Chain A
Amino acid sequence: MRRVPLYAALLAYVVFLAFPLLWLLSTALKTPQEMALTSPTWIPREPTPANFTDAFGEQDLVGAALRSLVVALASSLLTVVISLPAAYSMARYRSLVNRIAIGWVLVSQVFPFILIIIPLFLIMRDLELVNTLPGLVAVHVTFTLPFALWMLQGYVRAVPRELEEAASVDGASRLRAIASVVAPLLAPGVVATLLFAFISSWNEFMFALVFLQDPDVMTLPLTLVRFTGPEGVARLGPLAAASLMATIPSLIFFAIIQRRLKSGLMAGAVKG
């Protein structure tokens, strides 16, 4: 009974954050007439699959989703693989390079992409990376790296150094000490970073818009805006249907990966 307020608070949060999912679902099943009612309905009166058939019939949503999946998986894995060692170094060693690196991480986030995008485009063009998916992966990795570094070095710092040292003193090599003690403790942080990189790549629009030109390399976010017209007029039905399909994979990915967040808790009990 003491927990009732807690559940109420949790429910309020979930309603506030997740109601759009219901809205997407309901909109995707509505007829255009029902969408234009002044008193919106949550449950469609005459559910119709027309929006789905329109959306999937007009656009290569499945192909675009597959390409997005490849790009998002590649970027997120690459981001973590690259940033983990660097983050460890940033957190554990004090040197000029690391201090510059930390400063850089912030600076790179502070500068708005609108100032970077044209010079970046020129570089990509000269490397013949424009209009290719690996090119997009490279850009996504570059721009999620700072966040990954910043967060991961925060998590590394939060792992008490004594644990690592204790393991080393026990006779294990440093590498093994890191692998057996630090790595499990970092698991939740790694998972959070992976998730972040995956979703930001999956949803990323601006770079994809300017870098990809051929229909056979288009990613999902580019395909979604095809349902919008000038001045914010949109074909809400097909857009909602397509967006539902774009939202679900991220949620599934999160559902799978969030178990790892929990296992981090168990790892926390491991004593040096």
Chain B
Amino acid sequence: MTATATRPAPPRAPRSKRRGASRQKREMWLLMLPAMVPVLLFSVGPLLYGIGLAFTDARNTRVHETSFVGLENFTRMLSDEQFWASFQIGAIWSVSVTVLQFLAALGLALLLNMNLRFRSVARVLAVVPWAMPPVVIGLMWKLVYHPDAGILNGLLGTDVNWLADFSLALPAIIVVGVWTGMPQTTVVLLAGLQNVPKELYEAGEVDGAGRWRRFWNITLPQLRPVIVAITSLDFVWNFNQFGLVYVLTQGGPGGRTRLPMLFAYEEAFRYRAAGYASMLGLAMAIVVLAVLGLYLWRQMREAK
């Protein structure tokens, strides 16, 4: 991507500068307003409320008087070893799923962007995991991994109890995670590839650049904003994911697949500890935001 995109608005003649600035501001507000209404009402509101809960002893029950407890939830969290153990699992899970998902999706998007036959069919079939209702996805993968009647053991000729094995359960669900999220990433990257101006490639061909060089020097830099956007979002989504694990392993065996979000979910909905669960959510959000901030900042610096 060229530097222009991150540069402030292009310089205008000094005379009209102030008028331009105020017009720009009005325009900007108008453009933003429709998006701001639902977000403020249905998203910011509940979120502030949720953050507030983190500093109370709120419980999801009818008979409890909520009171402010300051940092009590925070200190409890710091000494909650089980939470930090699950946090570690969450970190391994979200980083590996995001990276694998991105690499696999980039490969597929490049293939789908080439002038291959059947690519329209392939494009449609590639979104199957996305189009499938989540309720069947878990059930289906359970059958794939089934130790006796599963497709996978049949295919590999192995006799492995995938989801109950203490060291294989996490990799097994990582594969499911990659599978589930690949279509979104692929479609987004494909749309990005379509956006790369053709002239750039034409110029590249004139220069005699090979396929690999063209990919490295033209495609990747052009795709950069899209890549940064989708990998950040994937990372966040993966970190927040727990539905799959809930169906496939329920956090087992021995807590080896207990993702932190599953942990927080159980605090809030099983044990009704809304205040503590909010604190866990808040802490996870801050860590994830810090990681993302670092990532985005580095990407931005490299882009310049």
Residue among A95, A104, A120, A254 making CB contact with B46, cutoff 8 Å: A120
Q: Which of the residues B107, B225, B233, B236 comes within 8 Å of A157, measured between beta carbons?
A: B225
Instruction: Please give the residue numbers on chain A whose beta carbons come within 8 Å of chain B beta carbons, in ascending order.
Output: 3, 6-7, 9-10, 13-14, 16-18, 20-21, 23-24, 36-40, 81-83, 85-86, 88-95, 97-98, 101, 104, 106-120, 123-124, 138-139, 141-143, 145-147, 149-151, 153-155, 157-162, 165, 185, 188-189, 191-192, 195-196, 199, 203, 205, 220-221, 224-225, 228, 232, 234, 236, 239-240, 243, 246-247, 250-251, 254-255, 258-259, 261-262, 264-265, 268-269, 271
B220 within 8 Å of A (CB atoms): no
Residues of A within 8 A of B142 (CB): 232
Task: Give the interface size bracket for B toward A.
Answer: 35 or more
Q: Distance in Å from the Cβ of B52 to the closest Cβ of chain A?
A: 9
Tell whether, in the assembled complex, residue B5 and residue A20 are in contact, meaning their CB atoms are under 8 Å apart: no
Chain A residues within an 8 Å CB radius of B49: 119
Q: How far apart are the CA atoms of A150 and B184 in the complex, in Å?
A: 14
Interface residues of B in 208-256 (CB under 8 A from A): 222, 225-226, 228-230, 232-233, 236-237, 239-240, 247
CA A201 to CA B207, docked complex, whole Å: 46
Bound Cα distance A116, B48 (Å): 9
Give Cα A11–Cα B107 distance, bound, in whole angstroms: 13
Identify the closest chain B residue to A91 (Cβ).
Answer: B5
Contact A111 B281 (CB under 8 A): yes
Which chain B residue shows the least CB distance to A81? B34
The chain B residues found within 8 Å of chain A, CB to CB, are 1-2, 4-6, 8-10, 24-25, 27-32, 34-36, 38-39, 41-47, 49-50, 53, 60, 104, 107-108, 111-112, 114, 116-120, 122-140, 142-143, 148-149, 151, 154, 179, 182-184, 187-188, 190-192, 194-199, 222, 225-226, 228-230, 232-233, 236-237, 239-240, 247, 261, 264-265, 268-269, 274, 277-278, 281, 284-285, 288-289, 292
